[in-house]
C-alpha cells in the first residue's frame, strides 16, 4: 500500500477500500520503523494526524459529495513552512525552540484540500545545502542506499516519499532544492514559476529565488498537490495574480509536435552512464512524437558564480532577524546586548549558514557592492535573456538534473565549492524565475538519476504533461527501494 501513488490512494479512499484512519496509521507505523535509519522527519504529529483522519472519515461518510479533493490523504511539510502550534526549526539550532503562531499559506491550502500532515521533514539548515548534511538534526540517508545523501536542501521530504513514509510532500527550491533531491531519490519534484506558490509563512532564504513546490512519486501526484498549493495570495507581495489552473487537465494530451531544446552547455562533460540514461529517456520522448532540437544557453557557466553571490547576499539580510531577542535561540548569560547578538548568532547558526552570511555581507558592503552584487544582478539578466531567446524556438528545455547520482555522506562536506558545483544544472532556472521539474530517468549502480524539464513562465502544465506521458511509457518512477518494503 505504501508505494501506491496519491492518485491510487485517493481512489481507494473513494471506493471505501480503506479508511483515512487506516491509511494514516499505516504510514505512521512506517515512519516509526524507518525514521531511525533515514532521519527524514524532525517532528511527527501522529496524534493530531489520527484525529484529523477520523474527522476526514466522518466527513466522507456524512457528505461524500462535498468532500475536498484530497480528503484524508497523508502528506508532510518541509520544516520551514510555519505550522501553528508545531515546531518549525528550519533544520537549525537557532529555531529548535520556535513554535510559529500561524500557518504558512501553503499549509492552510493543503489542509483546505483535505490533506493530513504527518509531520515536518528534515532539511539543510535554512535550506542552504545540496546534501542535507547541514541540518542541526543530522544528515538524512538516501533510501536507495543509506550510505548516500538524498540531496538537499529538501532531503527529508524527498527521501520520505521515496521510502514510502508518506505519498507526497512539500519542498522549497531556491537553487534546486526540489529538483535535485527528487533526482537523487528517484521521485518527481516540481519547482513552479516564481510567484505561483505563496511564500507567506515560508521562512525566507533568498527571497527573489525561493519558491515552494510538490514532491510525489509521479507527475500526476505532483499535479494534484500543486493544485492544492498554487494560487494568488495577497499576503505575499510577489505572488502572481493569475487565475487558478487544474494541473491535471492536460496530463493526457499528446506531446507529438512539441519541440524539446537540448542546451549543449548542459550536456558537455557528462559521464558515460549518465549520458546513456538521458539518451534513452530522450528517445522515449522522441518516440512519443516530440522533436529534439540542439540549442545554446550561452551564459550557463555564469549560473554558479551569479547564484553564489546573490543568494548569500539575500540570506545575509533575511537572517539578520535571528538575533536572540524576540524568538529563537538565545545564548546563556549575555554580558550586554552586543554579547547577546554575537553569541546567540555564533552559537545558533551552523558553519554553512555562517559562511553564507559572511559572503553575503561582504558582497553587499560599501566598496564591494559594485564589484560583486551589482555584477551578479547584471549576469542574472543575461541568464534570463538566454532562456527568453531559447523559448522563442522550443516549447521546453531538457537536461540532466544533476551531474552525477547521489554521493556518499561525508564525501563533499569539507569542500564547499565542490558541493556548490552539484547545483550547476538547477541554479539558472531560479535566477530566471522559471518553472522546472525533475523526473526519474534510470539508475546508475542502483542509484537514481533525474531528467530535468524546464519551461517558460507559467508552463507547469506543459512540463507535467510531458512527464506524465513519459511515465505512461516508462517505469522508472514506479520502482522503489527494496530495503524499504
CA distance 113 to 119: 17
Question: Could you tell me whether strands 291-295 and 436-444 are parallel, antiparallel, or unpaired per DSSP bridges?
Answer: unpaired
CB of 272 to ligand GLN, least distance (A): 25
Nearer to ligand GLN, 177 or 318 (CB): 177
Residue 423 contacts ligand GLN per CB under 6 A: yes
Active site residue 177: yes
Site for ligand GLN, residues 3 to 22, rule: CB under 6 A: none
- Residues 215 and 192: their CA atoms lie apart, in Å, by 12
* Span from 100-108, 128-136, 214-222, 335-343 in contact with ligand GLN (CB under 6 A): 128-136
Mapping DSSP to helix (H, G, I), strand (E, B) and coil, where does residue 107 land? helix
Q: Which of 43, 122, 130, 401 binds ligand GLN (CB under 6 A)?
A: 130
Q: How far is CA 305 from the centre of its chain?
A: 22
Q: Which three cell numbers stand for residue 71?
A: 480528503
Q: Which is nearer to ligand GLN, 71 or 185 (CB)?
A: 185
Phi, psi of 170 (to 5 degrees): -105, 155
Q: Among the options 89, 135, 153, 344, which is catalytic?
A: 153
Cα–Cα distances (Å) from 280 to 139, 182, 417, in that order, read 33, 19, 31
Question: Which one of 74, 164, 176, 189 is in contact with ligand GLN (CB under 6 A)?
Answer: 176
Assess whether 154 carries a catalytic annotation. no
CB-based contact 113:75 (threshold 8 Å): no
Among 90, 311, 434, 453, binds ligand GLN (CB under 6 A): 311
C-beta closer to ligand GLN: residue 133 or 423: 423
Options 65-73, 123-131, 219-227, 234-242: segment touching ligand GLN (CB under 6 A) = 123-131
Q: Kindly tell me which residue out of 45, 170, 174, 401 binds ligand GLN, with binding defined by CB under 6 A.
A: 174
Residue 16: all three cell numbers together: 471505501
Binding of ligand GLN at residue 79 (CB under 6 A)? Answer: no
The three-state secondary structure class of 397 is strand
Query: What is d(CA 382, CA 352) in angstroms, rounded to the nearest whole number?
Result: 28
Closer residue to ligand GLN (CB): 56 or 161: 161
DSSP H/E element including 261: strand 259-263
Candidates 177, 316, 399, 438; catalytic one: 177
**Site pattern 203..222 for ligand GLN (x: CB under 6 A):** --x-----------------
Q: Which stretch binds ligand GLN (CB under 6 A): 64-72, 167-175, 266-274, 375-383?
A: 167-175
Q: Does 128 bind ligand GLN (CB under 6 A)?
A: yes
Give the DSSP H/E element, type plus range, for residue 432: helix 427-432
Question: Considering the rule CB under 6 A, would residue 173 count as an interface residue with ligand GLN?
Answer: yes
Stretch of residues binding ligand GLN (CB under 6 A), selected from 110-118, 121-129, 324-332, 401-409: 121-129
Q: Closer to ligand GLN at the Cβ: 16 or 408?
A: 408
**Minimum distance from residue 180 beta carbon to ligand GLN (Å):** 7
- Considering beta carbons, is residue 130 or 188 the nearer one to ligand GLN? 130
d(CA 384, CA 19): 48
User: Residue 368: helix, strand or coil by DSSP?
Assistant: coil
Cβ 342 to ligand GLN shortest distance, Å: 25
Stretch that binds ligand GLN, among 86-94, 124-132, 401-409, 456-464 (CB under 6 A): 124-132
Closer Cβ to ligand GLN, 133 or 173, answer by number:
173
Three-class secondary structure of residue 41 per DSSP: strand
Residue 237: φ, ψ to 5°: -70, -15
Locate all alpha helices (DSSP H) within 288-415, ordered by sequence. Answer: 303-318, 337-348, 351-364, 375-390
By CB under 6 A, is residue 177 in contact with ligand GLN? yes
Rule CB under 6 A: choose which of 139, 175, 192, 350 binds ligand GLN.
175
> Residue 260 has which C-alpha cell?
524539446
When asked if residue 129 is in the footprint of ligand GLN (CB under 6 A), the reply is: yes
Q: Quick one: CA torsion of 9, 12, 16, 18, rounded to 10 degrees?
A: -60
**Separation of alpha carbons 314 and 452, rounded Å:** 26
Name the residue with cell 506521458: 469
By C-beta, is 399 or 469 nearer to ligand GLN? 399
Residue 246 CA to its chain's centroid (Å): 20
Whether omega for the bond prior to residue 153 falls within 30 degrees of 0, making it cis, is: yes
Taking the complex as a whole, the smallest distance from the CB of residue 426 to ligand GLN amounts, in Å, to 7
- Which residues within the stretch 15-54 sit at the binding site for ligand GLN (CB under 6 A)? none
Give the up-direction half-sphere exposure of residue 439: CA atoms within 13 A in the CB hemisphere. Answer: 29
Question: Which are the contacts of 342, defined by CB distance < 8 A and separation ≥ 6?
Answer: none
**Per-residue contact flags (x/-) with ligand GLN for residues 145 to 164, judged by CB under 6 A:** --------x-----------
Measured from the CB atom, is 74 or 400 closer to ligand GLN? 400
Q: Is-catalytic flag, 89?
A: no
Number of residues that bind ligand GLN (CB under 6 A): 13
Residues 52-71 that bind ligand GLN (CB under 6 A): none
**Max CA separation in the chain (angstroms):** 70
> Contact positions toward ligand GLN, by CB under 6 A?
127-130, 153, 173-177, 205, 311, 423
Q: Which residues are catalytic?
A: 78, 153, 177
Amino acid at each position: 500500500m505504501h508505494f501506491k501513488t496519491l492518485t491510487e490512494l485517493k481512489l481507494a479512499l473513494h471506493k471505501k477500500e480503506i479508511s483515512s484512519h487506516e491509511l494514516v496509521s499505516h504510514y505512521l507505523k512506517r515512519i516509526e520503523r524507518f525514521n531511525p535509519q533515514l532521519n527524514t522527519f524532525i517532528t511527527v504529529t501522529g496524534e493530531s494526524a489520527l484525529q484529523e483522519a477520523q474527522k476526514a472519515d466522518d466527513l466522507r461518510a456524512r457528505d461524500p459529495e462535498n468532500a475536498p479533493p484530497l480528503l484524508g490523504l497523508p502528506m508532510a511539510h518541509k520544516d520551514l513552512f510555519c505550522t501553528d502550534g508545531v515546531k518549525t526549526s528550519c533544520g537549525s539550532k537557532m529555531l529548535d525552540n520556535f513554535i510559529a503562531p500561524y500557518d504558512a499559506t501553503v499549509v492552510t491550502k493543503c489542509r483546505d484540500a483535505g490533506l493530513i500532515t504527518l509531520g515536518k521533514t528534515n532539511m539543510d539548515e535554512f535550506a542552504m545545502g545540496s546534501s542535507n548534511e547541514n541540518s542541526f538534526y543530522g544528515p538524512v540517508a538516501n533510501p536507495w542506499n543509506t550510505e548516500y545523501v538524498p540531496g538537499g536542501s529538501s532531503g527529508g521530504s524527498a527521501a520520505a516519499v521515496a521510502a514510502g513514509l508518506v505519498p507526497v510532500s512539500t519542498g522549497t527550491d531556491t537553487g534546486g532544492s526540489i529538483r535535485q533531491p527528487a533526482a537523487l531519490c528517484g521521485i518527481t519534484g516540481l519547482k513552479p514559476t516564481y510567484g505561483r506558490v505563496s511564500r507567506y509563512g515560508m521562512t525566507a532564504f533568498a527571497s527573489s529565488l525561493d519558491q515552494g513546490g510538490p514532491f510525489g512519486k509521479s507527475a500526476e501526484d505532483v499535479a494534484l498537490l500543486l493544485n492544492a498549493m498554487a494560487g494568488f495570495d495577497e499576503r505575499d507581495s510577489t505572488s502572481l495574480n493569475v487565475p487558478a489552473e487544474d494541473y491535471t487537465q492536460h496530463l493526457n494530451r499528446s506531446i507529438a509536435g512539441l519541440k524539446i531544446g537540448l542546451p549543449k552547455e548542459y550536456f558537455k562533460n557528462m559521464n558515460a552512464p549518465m549520458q546513456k540514461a538521458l539518451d534513452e529517456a530522450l528517445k522515449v520522448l522522441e518516440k512519443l512524437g516530440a522533436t529534439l532540437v540542439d540549442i545554446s544557453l550561452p551564459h550557463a557557466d555564469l549560473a554558479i558564480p551569479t547564484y553564489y553571490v546573490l543568494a548569500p547576499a539575500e540570506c545575509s539580510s533575511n537572517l539578520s532577524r535571528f538575533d536572540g531577542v524576540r524568538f529563537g535561540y538565545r545564548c546563556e548569560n549575555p554580558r550586554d546586548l552586543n554579547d547577546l547578538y554575537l553569541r546567540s548568532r555564533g552559537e545558533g547558526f551552523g558553519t554553512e549558514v555562517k559562511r553564507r552570511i559572511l559572503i553575503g555581507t561582504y558582497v553587499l558592503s560599501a566598496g564591494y557592492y559594485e564589484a560583486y552584487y551589482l555584477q551578479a544582478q547584471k549576469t542574472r539578466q543575461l541568464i534570463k535573456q538566454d532562456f527568453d531567446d531559447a523559448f522563442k524556438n522550443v516549447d521546453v528545455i531538457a537536461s540532466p538534473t544533476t551531474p552525477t547520482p547521489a554521493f556518499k555522506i561525508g564525501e563533499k562536506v569539507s569542500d564547499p565549492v565542490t558541493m556548490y558545483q552539484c547545483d550547476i544544472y538547477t541554479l539558472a532556472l531560479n535566477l530566471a524565475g522559471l518553472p522546472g521539474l525533475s523526473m526519474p530517468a534510470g539508475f546508475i549502480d542502483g542509484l537514481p538519476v533525474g531528467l530535468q524539464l524546464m519551461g517558460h513562465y507559467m508552463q507547469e502544465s506543459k512540463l507535467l504533461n510531458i512527464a506524465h506521458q513519459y511515465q505512461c511509457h516508462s517505469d522508472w518512477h514506479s520502482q522503489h527501494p527494496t530495503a524499504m518494503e
